[in-house]
A and B are shown apart, each in its own frame.
Chain A
Amino acid sequence: MAHKHTYSAASRFWIYPVMIVFVLLAMLPFLYMVSLSLQSDAEMFSGQVVVIPEELQFTNYVTIWEKAPFARFILNSFIVAGTIAFLHVLFDPLIGYVFAKMEFPGKRFMFVALLSTLMIPFFVRLIPLYIMTAKFGLLNTYTGLILPFAMSAFGIFLMRQFILPIPDDLIAAARLDGASEPRIFFDIVLPQIGPAIATVALLTFVFQFNEFIWPLVVVSSENMRPITTGLTLFNQEFFTQWNLTAVGGMLLFLPCFLLYLVAQRHFVQSAMLSGMK
């Protein structure tokens, strides 16, 4: 027992400093972004790496709203990421339920086909997806930004994994109680996968809030830009206003961080249950 105690104290002695170093390394870009967002133009272009600005330029957080229609960008980001997250909450559990609990011809093939889409990099699909979006006349529209991401193989897979362990007898009992199939789904299945739904909603929102390539490809009008591509306005021909870009980065980070704080309990729970890391 004493030996075990000594061992664990020793391991703690080594593990904590190592972990702190890694955490600091991981946080370094973020901390530098915070620092950049508070630097003056002079400090930024001084040619030296400034870690702590001499004078904190909180005015950068005001200037950004004047230099570009940032309120509109944020609204666009919220509309697109929010709608996509909502559609995932609607469709992923429904399709996951069908794959987990219903029997139909071709189920296995369809599931494998669905999963195989996870192996295809997005950039491979980018051009055909763009052509389809253009042919449907959806360039520069919310629909064009949202539709290609309305469902995801990963979300469906995650939901299926969570629905699989729900006992079949529970569904049979509801059927015997006179519940229709939609009722079984909404009354019996959905309440039991709350943490998983919260996780899918959170991950989808954060991922879509940070999406850069697809809006860059399908949106050319300034009014339809989300924050991510909106930030490119500070990237000009001869110089980039890194301090304002960093302020934009902070605006991207804050909603995601707040959302995580709210849904943290569900997120950790479902990550543990699904073995997802």
Chain B
Amino acid sequence: MSGVTLKKVRKDYGSVVAIPSLDLEIENGEFCVFVGPSGCGKSTLLRTIAGLEDLTEGQIVIGDQDVSDRHPGQRGVAMVFQNYALYPHMSVRQNMAYALRLAGEPKAEIKKKVDRAAEILGLEAYLDRKPAELSGGQRQRVAIGRAIVRNPKVFLFDEPLSNLDAELRTRMRLELSELHQALGTTMIYVTHDQVEAMTLADKIVVLRAGRIEQVGRPLELYDDPVNKFVAGFLGSPSMNFLPARWADGRLVLEDLEGATLSMAAKAPESGKAIVGIRPEHLEIGPEGAPLKLRSVEQLGGVTYGYAILPSGQEFCVDLKGRRDIRAGDTVTLVIPETHALVFDAETENRIRPSK
């Protein structure tokens, strides 16, 4: 088991800079999730750690060894791919045994390791089948099994659940979490699904355009984002953003009929801000800003109301449990000041209250 340290990692493709310069420390045994929108460089970063992409500059340290120039097979990492990448002409057993066979391990030892991994993943009955004869979930298990048998220092997962249906994805997510607890190995996981990131991670790394926006524990990032991008990326439904202007030390929300929030902070030069508030933090009270709902989603345990604000912004409110509210109804909103986050309208960075 080993941690991973990235020092000034840079990756260029010709004149295109995919990752400008990135430093990151992943602790031994940690489940670290790289999350971000498509094209943010998260898969590139993972493949660079794996050695499948050459580093342009910088250093990758796994455990106490600099592996920057090592062949992928000699870095002590195993990877699970989005499309499984199982060898189609080999049986499940042969797929799982391939790396061990290449490493010259004795046959008896290979059999023992493959049987053990198959037992952990419930694949005993499928060992002689070809990948084409397996379901998506079973294939993904084989891919994980192929990684497990190598007993790697670090597991790398590249969007491993995105080809599965919703139900199977939830089940595999739980299985992955249990596997991490059982093995205790460092895992790096790439996804664009913030639910996977929130549920699996010990540490989330939010990436945008090859740069780290924020690193932290899931709820830390959820509660205390450093900018509008991170705030909007984590959480489902995502955070509401309202344009606001500073007036006499208070923030005026034009979209909510001039409702104001007190904010003890230095206003930016432009005097313009964005107020972020999560749907579940909004309250419905007898008095407040009226909001006409355009549509209502009754999900059983929770009800969401949606509206379009005068500025054209979409707005979502958690109506708390089952409510007899329909599209076209008007609710009165109360914005609790303690939960409202304020961002600079220009830089989109968080403006924190002065102490």
Contacts and interface: CB of A to CB of B under 8 A. Distances in A.
A179 B81 CA distance: 17
B344 to A, nearest CB: 41
Interface string B37-61: 0000000000100111000000000
A187 B95 CA distance: 11
Interface string A176-190: 111100010001100
B311 interface: no
Interface string A22-58: 0000000000000000000000000000000000000
Contacts of A169: 81-83, 85
B277 interface: no
A179 to B, nearest CB: 6
A170 interface: yes
A178 B99 contact: yes
Size range of the interface on B?
20 to 34
B85 A192 contact: no
A167 B85 contact: yes
Task: Give the one of A170, A173, A183, A191 with max B CB within 10 A.
Answer: A173
A176 B78 contact: yes
A172 interface: yes
A188 B87 contact: yes
Contacts of B98: 174, 177, 179, 187
B355 interface: no
Interface string B52-84: 100000000000000000011110011101110
B166 interface: no
A176 B77 contact: yes
Given A191-B89, A192-B88, A175 B83 contact: no
Contacts of A176: 50-52, 72-73, 77-79, 99
Task: Give the one of B50, B78, B87, B146 with max A CB within 10 A.
Answer: B87
Contact of A183 (B74, B77, B87, B102): B102
Interface in A59-82: none
Contacts of B81: 169, 172-173
Contact of B83 (A167, A188, A191): A167
Nearest to B147: A176
A172 B156 CA distance: 13
Contacts of B78: 176
B16 interface: no
B299 interface: no
Nearest to A177: B99
Contact of A179 (B47, B77, B89, B102): B102
A71 B313 CA distance: 88
Given A188-B87, A192-B88, A178 B74 contact: yes
B182 interface: no
B89 A192 contact: yes
B103 interface: yes
Contacts of A174: 87, 98
A187 B82 CA distance: 22
B88 to A, nearest CB: 7
Nearest to B47: A172
A33 to B, nearest CB: 42
A42 B110 CA distance: 75
Given A169-B85, A170-B85, 17 more contacts: A169-B82, A170-B87, A172-B50, A172-B72, A172-B79, A173-B146, A174-B87, A176-B73, A176-B77, A177-B73, A177-B150, A178-B71, A178-B73, A179-B98, A179-B102, A191-B89, A192-B89
Interface of B: 47, 50-52, 71-74, 77-79, 81-83, 85-89, 98-99, 102-103, 146, 150
Interface of A: 167, 169-170, 172-179, 183, 187-188, 191-192
12 contacts: A172-B47, A172-B50, A172-B79, A173-B86, A176-B50, A176-B73, A176-B78, A177-B98, A177-B150, A178-B99, A187-B87, A192-B89
